[in-house]
């Protein structure tokens, strides 16, 4: 129903088209639902698509099994399959990417061929182009990510600046916020590792605990901060964890550890 809807359909069957120029180019595609002006406009042989919203899935030609809800959502999709896009401009530029889930305004908006991503929240994974197998939950989480893979970000602005860092886990508001290329980091807590840009392979747990942009460290406690690579850090000068006592012991083995902001050699006996 609507001007030019299903205009060129030949053998396509079980289609529903409501709106001007909806499913206009369809020839043999079957089991499609298009509701809205220009929805599924270019579809020819794509099947089992659901398109609700003006311009949604407008340029889809052969892509199948897509669900697109929202103004211009998945508008650029051509051959991508099995995508779910809910929200205005969500997955807008996707062309060949498959198996993506995008929930929220402009989430995964710039994605072109990135696959198997989950993006939940306004502007989440907005700039992603080819990154694959990322999970981004929270407004603006992983917003600037472009090509990195295998990241998990949960919380407002988490992993916000990430460009190509892979295999990071960021849990908490603004956790790993400034990370650009750092990889294999785990940050848990409000603003944890938020100033890290290129440090790798760190475990950071605690409110505003930081890596110092170093690598291969374990940092635990509120505001705890590493002072070098390969450190084990517990507590900070502002928030102490435990009491340091003096004892007389004999051993030739020590472990360097930063406790409450000070560097110690822990005697192993």
Structure confidence at residue 236 (pLDDT): 84
Q: In the chain, where are the structural domains located?
A: 134-269
β-pair partners for 84: 67, 101
Structure confidence at residue 243 (pLDDT): 67
Nearby residues of 61 by Cβ (< 8 Å), 6 or more positions away: 25, 42, 43, 44, 45, 46, 78, 79
From 20, 79, 18, 78, select the one nearest 51 (Cα to Cα): 18
Phi, psi of 254 (to 5 degrees): -130, 160
Residue 80 to residue 82: CA distance in whole angstroms: 7
Residue 246: is it exposed, middle or buried by C-beta count within 10 angstroms (0-12/13-18/19+)? exposed
Third-level CATH fold of 134-269: Alkaline Protease, subunit P, domain 1 (2.150.10)
pLDDT in tens, the chain (269 residues): 678 787 788 888 988 889 888 888 888 889 999 998 989 888 888 999 999 999 898 898 899 999 999 999 999 998 999 999 999 999 999 999 999 999 999 999 999 999 999 999 999 999 999 999 999 999 999 999 999 999 999 999 999 999 999 999 999 999 999 999 999 999 999 999 999 999 999 999 999 999 999 999 999 999 999 999 999 998 887 877 666 667 776 767 777 887 777 888 776 66
Residue identified by tokens 């070098």 is: 228
From 217, 225, 229, select the one nearest 192 (Cα to Cα): 225
Report the length, in residues, of the chain: 269
Nearby residues of 213 by Cβ (< 8 Å), 6 or more positions away: 195, 196, 197, 198, 199
β-pair partners for 17: 34
Per-residue b or e along 109-119, where b marks 16 or more CB atoms closer than 10 Å to that residue's CB = bbbeebbbbbb
Residue 161 to residue 98: CA distance in whole angstroms: 24
pTM equals 0.87
């Amino acid at each position: 129903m609507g001007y030019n809807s299903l205009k060129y359909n030949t053998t396509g069957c079980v289609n529903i088209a409501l709106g001007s120029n909806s499913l206009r180019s369809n020839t043999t595609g079957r089991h499609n639902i298009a509701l809205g002006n220009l929805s599924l406009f270019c579809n020819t042989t794509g099947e089992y698509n659901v398109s609700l919203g003006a311009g949604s899935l407008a340029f889809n030609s052969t892509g199948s099994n897509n669900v697109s809800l929202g103004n211009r959502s998945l508008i650029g999709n051509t051959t991508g399959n099995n995508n779910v896009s809910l929200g205005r401009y969500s997955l807008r530029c996707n062309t060949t990417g498959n198996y993506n889930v995008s929930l929220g305004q402009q989430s995964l908006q710039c994605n072109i061929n990135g696959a198997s991503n989950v993006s939940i929240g306004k502007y989440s994974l907005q700039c992603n182009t080819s990154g694959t197998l990322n999970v981004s939950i929270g407004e603006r989480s992983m917003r600037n990510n472009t090509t990195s893979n295998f990241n998990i970000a949960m919380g407002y602005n988490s992993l916000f600046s990430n460009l190509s860092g892979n295999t990071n886990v960021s849990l908490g508001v603004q956790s790993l916020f400034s990370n650009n290329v750092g990889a294999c980091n785990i940050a848990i807590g409000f603003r944890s590792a938020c100033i890290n840009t290129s440090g790798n392979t760190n475990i950071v747990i605690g409110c505003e605990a930081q890596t110092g942009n170093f690598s291969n460290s374990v940092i635990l406690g509120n505001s705890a901060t590493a002072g070098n690579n390969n450190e084990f850090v517990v507590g900070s000068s502002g928030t102490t964890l435990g009491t340091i006592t003096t004892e007389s012991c004999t051993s030739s083995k020590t472990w360097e550890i930063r406790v409450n902001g000070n560097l110690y050699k822990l005697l192993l006996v």
